[in-house]
Amino acid sequence: MKSFIHLIEEVQKKGLCHHCGGCVTFCTAINYGALEIDEHGLPRFADQNKCIECGLCYSICPEIDELEQETKKKIGWKPPIGNVLETHIARATDGFTRTKATDGGVVTGLLMHLLERGHIDGAIVARQAGPFNREPCLAVTRDELIDAAGFHFETSHGMKHFSHDYSTFAPSVQEFRPMLQKGLRRVAMVGTPCQIKALRRMEVLGIVPSDVIKYRFGLFCSGNFTFGDAERDKLSELGNFKWSDIKKVNVKQQLMIHLTHGDVKTIDLARLDFMKRYACHFCKDYSAEYADISFGGIGAEEGWTTVITRTPLGRAIFADAINTTLELYKKEDKPRTLLEIMDIIKKASSKKQKSAEEYRSQHV
């Protein structure tokens, strides 16, 4: 049976680790404590003598295909981009939530709806931690959910107070342990495709604490980006802007840089490969195919969110929130049909899949 030693050789040393934290989270949650996260976000041995070589950390890794067919069967996955029940364009009804959000605030609005209805005790989300960095957190109040909304780059504190490198990625799976410590039994999780996939692998194996996660919200993902000094200099040159003028940054079909004086700079995502985390080059999942609901800005007008419901549970909770905390884009106002939007998503997914396959053939 393969164990963490094999993960190091087959995934980490090849640069394929997504930093999802699933392997460490499982090991610490069941009190083995053999693994930990290092200062670079990578899993490593904390105490190799505690490793019982059970092989579960290896099985749940999103880069390992050992449980691929079982995972797809569990969620009813269908080609080419997973199960799709409905596609919508929506936004939060609350104006303040929308001003905080990156797109239409649908994820935040839906989480608040679940919390206020008593369907969840909290949510694993990512909040801003410095001007170019995100960190996972366990939000248990409305204010904490709103605080985590959006991805605004604040530069007022000055770069000197933060580390050299910054990333848009937050290892949210690592919040499982504090979730259990607080005694929460009904939690929603917002994550990237690789994080949702790791969670689904845990569910296939029936691993605690995956049973506590009741709702799985996946984010469309072109890749996560690192904002080191060199990357920021090159990006500002490409976009012809100053970092001190940035209000917020968003990703749709392009990287959209909103400036304080109202202008929006756009940069094609294909020009951002120099910023992309290495492991993201190998990921094929653009639209969070293993989630209950997937969310993203692609295909939607500014201030609105594209939503794909994938499971009956996801469809039910989304429908329950309509006309309360969420509102749908009016059909008569739609510049594109939902079929056209789905075509855009499929093309983006196909592009990511082909790119990942090419990259893997060249580098692995």
* DSSP symbols for 87-129: EEEEEES-HHHHHHSSSS-HHHHHHHHHHHTTS-SEEEEEEE-
Buried b / exposed e along 60-70 (16+ C-beta atoms within 10 A): bbbbbeebeee
Distances (CA, A) of 236 to 233, 259, 275: 5, 12, 12
At 297, list the tokens.
């800005």
Map residue 71 onto helix, strand or coil. helix
Residues 264 and 271: beta-carbon distance below 8 Å: no
The span from the CA of 215 to the CA of 311, in Å, is 10
Map residue 339 onto helix, strand or coil. helix
Mean pLDDT confidence for 307-311 = 98
Residue 67: per-residue pLDDT: 93
pTM comes to 0.87
| Helix axis angle, 312-321 to 106-116, nearest 10° | 90
pLDDT tier, 170 (very low <50, low <70, confident <90, very high otherwise)? low
Name the pairing type of β-strands 305-309 and 86-92.
antiparallel
Percentage, residues of the chain above pLDDT 70: 89
The span from the CA of 286 to the CA of 85, in Å, is 17
Q: In terms of DSSP H, where are the helices of the chain? A: 4-7, 22-29, 56-60, 68-75, 95-100, 106-116, 142-147, 176-181, 193-205, 229-239, 312-321, 338-363
Tens of pLDDT, residues 75-123? 999 999 999 999 999 999 999 999 888 789 999 999 999 999 999 999 9
Percentages (nearest 5) of helix, strand, coil residues in the chain: 40, 20, 40
Residue 250: is its pLDDT beyond 80? Answer: no
Tens of pLDDT, residues 40-88? 888 999 999 999 898 989 999 999 999 999 999 999 999 999 999 999 9
| Helix axis angle, 68-75 to 193-205, nearest 10° | 90
> What is the torsional sign of CA 138, 143, 149, 153?
negative
Residues 89 and 345: beta-carbon distance below 8 Å: no
- Indicate the average pLDDT of the chain: 86
Tens of pLDDT, residues 155-165? 333 222 233 34
Residue 187: per-residue pLDDT: 93
Q: In terms of DSSP H, where are the helices of 8-165? A: 22-29, 56-60, 68-75, 95-100, 106-116, 142-147
Residue 164: per-residue pLDDT: 35
Distances (CA, A) of 311 to 51, 112, 185: 36, 20, 21
Residue 223: is its pLDDT beyond 60? Answer: yes
The CATH class, in words, for 1-66 is: alpha beta
Residue spans per domain, the chain: 1-66, 67-363
The span from the CA of 266 to the CA of 258, in Å, is 9
Residue 29: is its pLDDT beyond 70? Answer: no
Tens of pLDDT, residues 286-308? 999 999 999 999 999 889 999 99
